[in-house]
Amino acid sequence: MIEKTIQLFTEKEEEFVNLLIKIGTKQTIAKALVFLANVKKATSREIERGTDLRQPEVSLAIKYMAEQGWIKSNEVPSDKKGRPVRNYALAIPVPDIMTSIEKQKKAEANNQLALIKKMRSYI
């Protein structure tokens, strides 16, 4: 039997996840992002185990982060028969990702304020 260690979140990392969730980031994305921020690279299976997410949740989180340009991936041939394994890693530093999230939230807030102004014009 092969022994592997499982990465778990520290209190500080859990707090980071919770802050991301409070600003509107989906829980799955927040957990996967914080996990990848603390490892050099990981397979989707390692992300599943380290974040306590299911495979479809990890896949959706990875897809979203790839669309945002936050992560990169590469295929590694499997030791056994079957599909190659994909390794995922952050493509840009965490501060740049936070800047991206900040810009997105500012745009959302400005859009909401514009809608409120438009509603006021109907009164």
Look at residue 46 in the predicted model and tell me its pLDDT.
92
Q: Where are the domains of the chain?
A: 11-92
Cα 41 to Cα 22: distance, rounded to the nearest angstrom: 26
Sheet holding 85-90, edge to edge: 42-43, 85-90, 71-76
Q: What is the pLDDT along the chain (123 residues), one digit of tens a residue?
A: 566 666 667 889 999 999 999 999 999 999 999 999 999 999 999 999 999 999 999 999 999 999 999 999 998 877 777 788 899 999 999 999 999 999 999 999 999 999 999 999 988
- Reduce the DSSP state of residue 110 to 3 states and report it: helix
Tokens standing for residue 45: 């299976």
Look at residue 100 in the predicted model and tell me its pLDDT.
94
Count H helices and E strands in the chain, helices first: 5, 3
Cα 100 to Cα 48: distance, rounded to the nearest angstrom: 25
11-92 CATH, one of 3.50.50.60, 3.90.400.10, 1.20.1250.20, 1.10.10.10: 1.10.10.10
pTM assigned to the model: 0.83
Strands annotated E in the chain: 42-43, 71-76, 85-90
Give first-to-last CA distance, the chain, whole Å: 71
Cα 72 to Cα 100: distance, rounded to the nearest angstrom: 16
Look at residue 6 in the predicted model and tell me its pLDDT.
62
Look at residue 79 in the predicted model and tell me its pLDDT.
72
